[in-house]
Structure 1
């Protein structure tokens, strides 16, 4: 009987090992559907824990099973044990050191945070000696973009903001999350279209991308788009000077000036501009110099995040040494502690010093290796569109995580961060 069960388990495990890339790809492709289902549940039924959340938890458990019972790599298991031990201590701290806490909310928040390191370990394992086609990521990006573009075009999308400001997030819930996701993957697809000289597709994509950026109503995706634009301008200028194509350089500069002027005019007709005006009026800004006070910089640039940080940091300072090490959690005295919405700070404050290290160790280690490999041959790599797009994508993910949040602790986004980082890591590793 035991032998029969063992044979069945071996068959299942062998099947999973052979088909894990296909299973994972299917999971990536259903992400937009899960996010739309979450949006409908939150907007229409005001239900916080949804079927989509349950599916993501089930997939997290599946990754644990795969890593522990299928691949059985000791280094992975050790890291998972460390994450699990930390999670247990984190929950014990919430039970022992806080009155009137909400265990369900704490577990949900914890799962959102440990999703990234477990996803990274999982993707490193399944992509080891296995091919993963980048086009799959691009296809998922296009699905996300269509479910923003079409609803926004026909004015049937959900509002980006609950009140005051304007903008539409399509059929999704969080403007910051969807804006970050699109911003992080877009440089890769643009580089693919540029390298393969698919001009018509590139123009069509950029028009849709530009429309989405301006109708979302948020600032961060615009900043990310400017970073991509500046790289391609620098790339073109360097190549034209190298080839002594000065006439083309003058044409490029003229075209850029005309583009900037046209963009300024176009932006004044968008929700993005309306939100800037609303925000400036709210802060009673009459001159540019009025912006340069800490209060106004905090409100206008950081969306009051520095104020939220100050309040949460004071709670952190007032906690005991064990909470400083393992986190103050997310619920205190019958209330949810307001997130700073700057992922690195939120993880540090809410998960503690040890939690910060455990959750972000693999993430920082991977980024460090990619940056080191890129800057080791910076001159040649900068003019390599594919490699530079990888670095731009990572820089954008870091900026989004720091400026808007909802990147590292949002499973819908962090799963793609994991995929992108591991794909980049493997590509740089292959060149060694």
Structure 2
């Protein structure tokens, strides 16, 4: 493997940084709950690693894409910096700490994507670095799964929902239910890919332990996001592995690893769906289905009246059904949308800053792409999302150039991970602005990029 010592040292640092993520999150929980600290170990370590990553990008590698990535990041910092300075002088209220914290969280995701891209040097064995990253995610998810289960068994777990809320669930020693749910959703397909790659014989079922721990954790957490993510991933992986095994049989080229992967996947699916009815998730999903059903029935007469009397037409954002599905996030769109509509051309291009033009307590919409757009304007939004646009252009190109590779099990699971991460970011937030979550999404997107690059 052609790789210099400096490069390998940073890869090792990155691996341990990924493994440390659940530990940092648990330390954050104890710091806030028991000591009431605002500045936690997690924040300090992640900001330090952001600085180390920028040093690595500029001085720690000899990747041929280095100059392009530095140019992109410089342009990103200039665009976001202009918006920050303008809002500092023109915004009705400007909380410097909150605005700076939001800015750092925003740049974290694109910087992580750029950092991970540079880990894959031309001439190196891409498969080895891929396994290196996937193994670090798997170890981190073992820590997540074990901590949640141990916290529940010792009766020390934090509730996913506030006391008195009709839903139930436990997030262990983690502070935010939305974030840990998103982590499970994004990381589960990665852990499953690693298990598949490592399975050759039936004794390799040990590599499926992280998948089982994470699947059980998703059921304990009690959110529909984590449950549906794991369900979709298990079903799709089962279908892909079954088709792969059938194709091998038809070609008279069956190997034991394909059969063993299929058996392990089947066992995982059986255990997961067998225990589902006994968990908080099942109870929550059943109650939510009833609530949504009632909301739909109540809304039907309103829809009929609107068609008859257009003069009394209600805004789509006020829809009761939408309020339930988006957990009231739709109600936070209207004020910032009005602020953006009334803003001048400069603010439309460079944004309104953190949470728009707040006059009291700043409040995000908690739909990441909308928050990005309103905070940084059209220019900022496009520049921040540029890596996403490029990666998915490569994915679409692969579809038309190599259909067989596009529908490979690894690629499908990476697409599931990316789709879940970006879908959660759009609908529920707490992904692109949460360094604890966005690092996993960054790994997924870079692996997607290099998969298309290899094929």
TM over 0.5: yes
Tell me which of 345, 348, 356 is aligned to 2:373: 348
TM-score, length of structure 1 as denominator length? 0.82
Structure 2 unaligned residues grouped into runs of 5+? 251-261, 304-315
**Structure 1 residue 213: deviation in Å?**
1.6
C-alpha separation in 1, matches of 2:440 and 2:114: 13
**Structure 1 residue 110: deviation in Å?**
0.8
Tell me which of 53, 58, 63 is aligned to 2:53: 63
SS in 1 for 2:385: helix
Residue 360 of structure 2: aligned partner: 335
Residue 9 of structure 1: aligned partner: none
Tell me which of 99, 105, 113 is aligned to 2:106: 113
Q: Where does 1:251-270 land on structure 2 (aligned, <5 Å)?
A: 263=273, 267=276, 269-270=278-279
RMSD: 3.2
C-alpha separation in 2, matches of 1:420 and 1:277: 32
Bigger relative CO (Cα 8 Å, ≥ 6 apart): 1
Do the aligned residues in 2 keep the contact of 1:401 with 1:408 (CA within 8 Å)?
yes
SS in 2 for 1:49: coil
Residue 51 of structure 1: aligned partner: 41
Is the counterpart of residue 324 in structure 1 residue 348 in structure 2? yes
Residue 183 of structure 1: aligned partner: 185
Residue 7 of structure 1: aligned partner: none
Q: Where does 1:230-309 land on structure 2 (aligned, <5 Å)?
A: 230-235=235-240, 238=243, 263=273, 267=276, 269-276=278-285, 286=294, 289-290=297-298, 295-309=319-333
**How many aligned positions are there?**
403
Structure 1 unaligned residues grouped into runs of 5+? 1-13, 245-251
Q: Where does 1:33-432 land on structure 2 (aligned, <5 Å)?
A: 33-71=23-61, 73-129=66-122, 130=124, 131-132=128-129, 133=132, 134-163=134-163, 164=165, 165-194=167-196, 196=199, 198=202, 200-201=205-206, 204-205=209-210, 207-235=212-240, 238=243, 263=273, 267=276, 269-276=278-285, 286=294, 289-290=297-298, 295-331=319-355, 332-374=357-399, 376-379=401-404, 381-382=406-407, 384-431=408-455
1:34-72 Cα shifts (integer Å, max 9, x gaps): 111212222233333323212211221222222223447
C-alpha separation in 1, matches of 2:58 and 2:207: 43
Do the aligned residues in 2 keep the contact of 1:324 with 1:353 (CA within 8 Å)?
yes
Change (3 A) 1:222 1:36: same
C-alpha separation in 1, matches of 2:363 and 2:347: 17
Do the aligned residues in 2 keep the contact of 1:374 with 1:387 (CA within 8 Å)?
no
